[in-house]
């Protein structure tokens, strides 16, 4: 399987939440905390000679938890996991806090720029 930004994010973050790390949306009634992630754009490198070498993705990571402090703690761990070697993703701004009144979940959202070889 080719390397992808999604695979990189899943591999780096799954251990933070006992494998409760999902693309786009989490299953109903999943235990918390959990993480969702999705590609939300990225930089388009210019390719020479029609070869695809280095690619970029802007990945949005969302943490959902029962308390603000739990969401913040997991997000800080996610930032450390993605920013360290060997990934070295760059955060694009600071985490954004949110609250979902329908589910009563606290969230934290952060965008990362990830360069990778497919």
pTM over 0.75: yes
What average pLDDT does range 92-115 have in this prediction? 96
Q: Is 45 helix (H, G, I), strand (E, B) or coil?
A: coil
Cis peptide before 110 (omega within 30 of 0): no
Q: Could you read off the pLDDT of 38-97 as tens digits, one per residue?
A: 999 888 766 655 666 788 899 999 999 999 999 999 999 999 999 998 899 999 999 999
- The reported pLDDT for the residue numbered 77 is 98
Structural domain for 50, as ranges: 5-116
CATH of the domain at 98: 3.30.2000.30
The number of folded domains in the chain is 1
């Amino acid at each position: 399987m080719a390397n992808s930004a999604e695979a990189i994010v899943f591999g780096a973050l799954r251990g933070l939440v006992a494998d409760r790390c999902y693309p786009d949306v989490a299953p109903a009634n999943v235990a918390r905390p959990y993480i969702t992630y999705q590609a939300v754009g990225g930089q388009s490198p210019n390719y020479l000679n029609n070869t695809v070498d280095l690619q970029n993705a802007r990945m949005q990571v969302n943490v959902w938890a029962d308390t603000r402090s739990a969401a913040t703690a997991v997000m800080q761990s996610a930032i450390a996991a993605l920013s360290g070697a060997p990934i070295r993703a760059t955060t694009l701004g600071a985490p954004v806090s949110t609250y979902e009144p329908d589910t009563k979940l606290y969230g934290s959202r952060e965008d990362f720029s990830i360069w990778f070889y497919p």
